[in-house]
């Protein structure tokens, strides 16, 4: 049986922290589906779901067992339909824990056929988030240490343009 994991997130935009988690998940499972999902708490989106998907495709093309998809529905439903056995999420700090724990329990209630697996972030990515990247880029700061080089220019151009418009 193929062991499939779903790695969901907003990815607005994908960071090197996300890429690290995706890469490590790809070593643990036969197939990883990175799922661009809707977080209703995040209303200030900079990139469309298709743009986010394209950026993830661009930075994961060397990972042969990783695919990317978009969902605007419930994660638990997607996981079930995909036949996945795990939901993989990155944990940065204690501050992430309560929220992630709540989601893991809710997802289990909705679909008990998959486990939520937390991968701890590396020490150097502890502070990193898409919002931090967006803040820095919007004000013209250097984000080259935070996002994969292939998508750096695209992100910088978009966020600076957003500020000026
Ligand atoms: O990167 P994020 O914003 O922390 O990811 C959160 C995300 C998108 C994975 C979460 O909001 C989600 O699962 N959204 C899909 C809708 C859903 O199933 N919500 C209930 C989760 S318990």
pLDDT tens-digit readout, 7-66: 999 999 999 999 999 999 999 999 999 999 999 999 989 999 999 999 999 999 999 999
Determine whether 24 is an active site residue: no
Region of 83 (left: φ > 0; alpha: ψ -120 to 50; beta: rest) is left
Give the closest residue to 75 by CA, choosing from 59, 58, 88: 88
DSSP lists the bridge partners of residue 36 as: 9, 70
Q: What percent of the chain has pLDDT over 90?
A: 86
Please give all residues whose beta carbon lies within 6 A of any atom in ligand 1, as ranges: 8-10, 37-39, 42, 74-75, 103, 106-107
Q: How many Å apart are CA 121 and CA 35, to the nearest integer? A: 19
Determine whether 18 is an active site residue: yes
* 125-145: pLDDT as tens digits: 999 999 999 999 988 899 999
Determine whether 62 is an active site residue: no
Mutating to test ligand 1, I would choose from 6, 7, 9, 42 the residue with most ligand atoms within 8 A of its C-beta, which is 9
Q: What was the pLDDT predicted at 7?
A: 98
Sequence-distant (≥ 6) Cβ neighbours of residue 163 within 8 angstroms: 138, 139
- Ligand 1 atom closest to 11 (CA): 1
Tell the residue number behind the tokens 């967006």, with chain if given: 134
- Ligand 1 atom closest to 130 (CA): 1
């Amino acid at each position: 049986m193929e062991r499939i994991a779903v790695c969901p997130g907003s990815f607005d935009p994908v960071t090197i922290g996300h890429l690290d988690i995706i890469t490590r998940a790809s070593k643990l499972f036969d197939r990883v589906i990175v799922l661009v999902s809707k977080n209703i708490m995040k209303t200030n989106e900079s990139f469309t779901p298709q743009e986010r998907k394209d950026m993830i495709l661009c930075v994961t093309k060397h990972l042969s067992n990783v695919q990317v998809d978009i969902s605007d529905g419930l994660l638990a439903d997607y996981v079930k339909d995909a036949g996945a056995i795990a939901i993989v999420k990155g944990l940065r700090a204690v501050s992430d824990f309560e929220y992630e724990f709540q989601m893991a329990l809710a997802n289990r209630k909705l679909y008990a056929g998959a486990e939520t697996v937390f991968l701890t972030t590396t020490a150097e990515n502890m502070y990193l988030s898409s919002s931090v990247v967006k803040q820095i880029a919007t004000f013209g700061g250097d984000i080259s240490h935070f996002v994969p080089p292939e998508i750096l220019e695209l992100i910088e151009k978009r966020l600076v343009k957003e500020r000026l418009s």
